[in-house]
Structure 1
Amino acid sequence: MQQQQGLRVLKEGVLEKRSDGLLQMWKRKHCTLTEEAVLLHAPKHAHAHAHPAAKGKELHFSRVKTVDCVERKGKHGYFTVVMADGKEIDFRCRAEEGWSAEITLQMVQYKNRQAVLAVRSTRHKQQRLVINKPETEVTVPTGESRAHSG
């Protein structure tokens, strides 16, 4: 597999993204799926000639809330990437390409890795607190006489 910005490329291909404009046209995008993000660029043949230094759009999994609205109509599969800020980005691709499933899988794996790191970090901080905690003297109150008058 190739490397993209230091990350392993898991899948590459063409997706169509619905534009935000009034007409909501489908625009072809070259898509690269890594372990941490979906990278979108102009299609490769146009990208190389028009804007060789142009940076594409990155949908980093830390900002992706979910991938949903998956449906098949004819030869296309449709899905929506919902960002943490509520923005929805619609995509379509050839149904057999499985982009939505692979993006969802990588997003879940990314979020699981982040959760494990957060737990480890919390445990490490707690261990440091216990190790660095100064010894304190604990005084136990002496028992009082429980003589009952009966």
Structure 2
Amino acid sequence: MASKIVMSSKTVKTSDEILCEGELEKRSDSLFQVWKKKRCVLTADRLRLFSGKTSPAKELFFHSILKVDCVEHTSKYVYFTIVTNYYKEIDFRCTVESCWNAAITMALIDFQNRRALQDFPRYRYQRSESEMPSEPGEQSALGP
């Protein structure tokens, strides 16, 4: 099954907008660590993994993902690891042509950038308040 990658030039993405959809293989946590095919849907804020048609999706939200590490390239597969904020490592592989690792990495970077921009005005406001003199006639230590 081929992956469908949709890149948008919009700066604002909704959490329901599908960026990529297709098949990805996840290594199981069991003793034998077999590769299991998953149908995946990548959106602006999460990666959904479907095991079957009736089972609910497992979701990896980007706010809980620390990074995506590319582990190895072979002639057939790209092996990569998603590292969560709690340093849990989840191993995946995809075909070289599908570029799932790049799509997930770009979506994660986009999510982190949007979150940083949302936090910036709040940080700037808090910082400007803390730099204000406590007394009306008092000057800042850095002031003239």
TM-score under structure 2 length normalisation: 0.76
Larger radius of gyration: 1
**1:117 Cα deviation (Å)?**
0.6
Q: CA RMSD in A?
A: 2.6
Structure 2 CA distance for partners of 1:139 and 1:125, relative to 1, 3 Å: closer
Quick one: which amino acid aligns to residue 118 of structure 2? L
Q: Find the aligned partners of 1:24 and 1:33 in 2 and give their Cα distance.
A: 24
Unaligned runs of at least 5 residues, structure 1: 141-150
- Structure 2 residue matching 1:86: 3-state secondary structure: coil
**Contact in 1 for aligned 2:15/2:45 (Cα 8 Å):** no
Residue 14 of structure 1 aligns with which residue?
Answer: 23
**Contact in 2 for aligned 1:79/1:90 (Cα 8 Å):** yes
Say if 2:34 is the partner of 1:35. no
Question: Which deviates more, 63-72 or 29-38?
Answer: 63-72
- Structure 1 residue matching 2:17: 3-state secondary structure: strand
- Structure 1 residue matching 2:97: 3-state secondary structure: helix
Residue 148 of structure 1 aligns with which residue?
Answer: none
Q: Find the aligned partners of 1:137 and 1:93 in 2 and give their Cα distance.
A: 62
Q: Find the aligned partners of 1:72 and 1:125 in 2 and give their Cα distance.
A: 45
Residue 145 of structure 1 aligns with which residue?
Answer: none
After the TM superposition, which residues 1-150 of structure 1 pair with which residues of structure 2 at under 5 Å, given as runs? 7-42=16-51, 46-47=52-53, 51=54, 54-124=55-125, 137-138=136-137
Q: Find the aligned partners of 1:37 and 1:112 in 2 and give their Cα distance.
A: 15
Length, aligned pairs only: 126
Q: Over residues 113-136 of structure 1, what are the superposed CA-to-partner deviations in whole Å (9 max), with x where a residue is unaligned? A: 101110112334567x59xx9x95
Unaligned runs of at least 5 residues, structure 2: 1-5, 7-13, 140-144
Deviant stretches of 4+, over 4 Å: 124-127
- Structure 1 residue matching 2:67: 3-state secondary structure: strand
**1:76 Cα deviation (Å)?**
1.2
TM-score under structure 1 length normalisation: 0.73
